[in-house]
Amino acid sequence: MSLVTIGPLYVWRCALRRAAVVQYFTTSEGAEHNRELIEDVLGELAARDPGGVEYQVLMFDGGVGFMHVVAFDGTSDPFADCVAYREFHRALAERLAAPPVVMYAVLIGSYHSASVAR
């Protein structure tokens, strides 16, 4: 990994870091429970710190749309040992209003402001 300067920005270049983006909409009845389950996953990952993974989840205005963005090193599943992640998926189909859209990618780089708390 190397630090590259692009104008005033700094970007970490990662050699073939895998990424996935998942976007979906829940039913209005399932949205709050979905958010709680996501928070459980984030909490477990923070406690275990599996390393080599960046994971962010966005909730769209209206509270029923979600986007998960994960980038990770290697080829192993960063969620393999995450109990909360399995619980999140257990009844996911019941919370969804439509099938999710899943896209895979390679991370080119990312920027995180030093002033933003993570």
Structure-model confidence comparison of residues 2 and 90, the more confident one: 90
Domains, the chain, ordered by start:
16-106 (3.30.70.100)
Q: What's the mean per-residue pLDDT of the chain?
A: 85
Q: Is 37 helix (H, G, I), strand (E, B) or coil?
A: helix
16 band by pLDDT with thresholds 50, 70 and 90: low
| Residue % of the chain over a pLDDT of 70 | 83
Q: How far is CA 31 from CA 20, 25, 54, 81, 88, in A?
A: 22, 8, 23, 25, 12
